[in-house]
Amino acid sequence: MTDNLIIRRARETDLVALIELFAADETGGHGDTTDDDAYEDYLRAFNVIDASQNEQLFVAELEGEVVGTFQILFNRTLTGRGSLSMILEAVQTRSDMRGKGIGGQMIHHAIEEARRRDCRIVQLTSNMARTDAHRFYERLGFAKSHFGFKMKLK
């Protein structure tokens, strides 16, 4: 069913579908909403991401519909002899499309981009409540290696 899946850079015309995807995620707790008042916030963020040299936002499209998304960020540090790392963020597959291989194709796409950019590592964090996602990432070759810490400021 996902043979026709297209993974491409997100466009502004995808924004409504992306907002709906994030707002439907009750586990994430990010406060995403489809309220019209919030659209300008999302549009501003999209424009910053789209213009960035170190960030890229992707969508997975199937039969003209956005069915998934992920964002990649590139981070160069002095550790690892000045190596480049990829951070994988905001991985979401539309709830009615889960279990069809879309997430795996998105992750493989991100990993290939990391290889193309000569990254040393691909890293991600996942909400501790997402045990299914943890098994998914482990099946794809990711290993639990660090504890993550966050401090909410807003």
Say how far apart CA 112 and CA 118 lie, in whole Å. 10
84, 75 in Cβ contact below 8 A? Answer: yes
Looking at the 3D structure of the chain, how many domains does it have?
A: 1
- Asked whether residue 152 is assigned to any structural domain, the reply reads no
142, 125 in Cβ contact below 8 A? Answer: no
Domain at 106, CATH number: 3.40.630.30
Residue 19: give the domain boundaries. Answer: 6-139
Say how far apart CA 92 and CA 18 lie, in whole Å. 9
Categorize the per-residue pLDDT at 149 as very low, low, confident or very high, splitting at 50, 70 and 90: confident
8, 61 in Cβ contact below 8 A? Answer: yes
- Asked whether residue 151 is assigned to any structural domain, the reply reads no
- Asked whether residue 69 is assigned to any structural domain, the reply reads yes
pTM here? Answer: 0.92
- pLDDT higher than threshold 60 for residue 126: yes
- Asked whether residue 46 is assigned to any structural domain, the reply reads yes
Give the angle 6-60-51 at the CA atoms, nearest 5°: 100
